[in-house]
Amino acid sequence: MKVEQISIFIENKSGRLAEVTQSLGDSGVNIRALSLADTSDFGILRLIVDKTDVAKQALKERGFTVNKTAVVAVEVPDCPSGLAGILQVLDKGGVNVEYMYAFVERCGENAVIIFRFDDPEAAIKVLLENDVRVLEGERVYTM
């Protein structure tokens, strides 16, 4: 039920983000979702792509530091309190959210949110027990 995400360390200087996206483009990798966390010195770029291993290899060859992490894609009702309801479920289940970001595509009537949990297994269990829909990786990469 987990989704593979790649994270890339990027120094805060001009042209680095362009370099990442260019090398992905050159390798025929399509970006499905992304989020960038930054400080004054550096940023962490997180990506969901259609071909994770190809992307990781391409970026490593260009000299980037790349890690693969497991995240969870959750369907969220696209209506007021949709996300709040899911966060309450997680809170009650004692699950910590490290960070989250929205997916561009919708899944039917629902929005998709990517969650990074400190314990993804426990999070998935809590979500499923509360009838929240969690998307398979394969589904997400090709959305």
Partner 1 sequence: MSDCEKMMPKIWDRDNECMSRDRLEALQLARLQQTLKRVNEHVPCYQNKFSAFGLGVSDIRTLDDLAKLPFTTKEDLRLNYPYGMFAVPMREVVRIHSSSGTTGKPTVVGYTRNDLKTWTQLAARFMTAAGVTPDDIVHIAFGYGLFTGAFGLHYGAEEIGASVIPISSGNTDKQIMIMQDYLSSALVCTPSYALTLADRMEKKGIDPKRLSLKVGLFGGEPWSEEMRREIEQRLGVVATDNYGLSEVMGPGVAGECQHQCGMHIFEDHFIAEIIDPETGEVLPRGSIGELVLTSITKEAFPIIRYRTRDITRLSYETCECGRTHARMAKTMGRSDDMLIIKGVNVFPTQIEEVLFQVEGCEPHYQLVVDRAGTMDTLEVQVEVNERIFFDEMRKQHAFVDLLEKRLLSMLGVGAKVKLVEPSSIPRHEGKANRVIDKRVQ
Region near partner 1 per CB under 8 A, out of 7-15, 22-30, 78-86, 130-138: 7-15
Regarding 67 and contact with partner 1 (CB under 8 A), the answer is yes
Tokens, residue 37: 């966390």
Give strand pairing partners of 101. Answer: 114
Half-sphere exposure of 30 (CA within 13 A, CB side): 7
Please identify which residue in the block is written with the tokens 């809590």: 126
**87: left (phi > 0), else alpha (psi -120 to 50), else beta?**
alpha
Q: In this chain, which of 81, 99, 104, 129 binds partner 1, going by CB under 8 A?
A: 99
Regarding 23 and contact with partner 1 (CB under 8 A), the answer is no
Regarding 56 and contact with partner 1 (CB under 8 A), the answer is no
Regarding 16 and contact with partner 1 (CB under 8 A), the answer is yes
Regarding 39 and contact with partner 1 (CB under 8 A), the answer is yes
Half-sphere exposure of 56 (CA within 13 A, CB side): 12
Regarding 64 and contact with partner 1 (CB under 8 A), the answer is yes
Q: Which of residues 107-126 bind partner 1 (CB under 8 A)?
A: 116
Question: What's the Rg (C-alpha) of the chain?
Answer: 16
Q: In this chain, which of 57, 69, 110, 130 binds partner 1, going by CB under 8 A?
A: 69
Residue 114 beta carbon to partner 1: minimum distance, rounded to whole angstroms: 12
Please identify which residue in the block is written with the tokens 């009650």: 92
Q: In this chain, which of 25, 28, 37, 139 binds partner 1, going by CB under 8 A?
A: 37
